[in-house]
Amino acid sequence: MNTENNPTLDPSAPSCVCAAPEQSGPATTISALRAALVAAPGLPLTVLWPDGDPIEAHFHVTEVGRVQKDFVDCGGTVRRLVSCLLQTWVGDDVDHRITAGKLLKAFDHAVPVLGGEDLPVELEYEACNVIQFKIVAVTQEAGRLVVQLGGKHTDCLAKELCCAPAAGAAAPGACGG
């Protein structure tokens, strides 16, 4: 990040959590998350960044939604991504704790929006910007339900059409020329 023209940014400040070690694997689905919530409704939730550090314990889940992204990749293929998005918010009420049962109730309220699809679940969090993570695991341990976050990444979905060719080959396509 260039801090040269912005005196409010401290170059010695810790780096963004998105630069943390990657927790890999596919996103947890709604059914897997609901099963974990049903199994331990009285337990508090702890959400861990990809590096294993917890987010603030007094976070709220303010929305459970179905997000659909329809797009065309740089190779011209029409694509659709659909996920369940949990929006979090950290308020000033530092004594607040969300339990598995409370999140389960939020999912119950969201049934008309989610439409019965078993979607991958992601979590949205506001740091200096709004960032999204996939939920890669939910485990019960030491009197709490732990939700492990993993990173999301951008990628070219039409590499065969537009990315840098192998040595000596020409690359046709929208991005490559």
pLDDT by residue (tens digit) across 138-148? Answer: 999 999 999 99
Better-scored residue on pLDDT, 143 or 171: 143
Residue type, 82: V
Please state the rounded mean pLDDT for residues 48-54: 96
Residue-wise pLDDT for 90-119, tens only, equals 999 999 999 999 999 999 999 999 999 999
| Torsional class of 39: left (φ above 0), alpha (ψ -120 to 50), beta (otherwise) | alpha
Per DSSP bridges, beta strands 130-141 and 144-150 are: antiparallel
What are the boundaries of each domain within the chain? 31-152
What average pLDDT does range 169-175 have in this prediction? 50
Contact yes or no for 12/1 (Cβ under 8 A): no
Helices 30-39 and 100-109, packing angle to 10 deg: 140
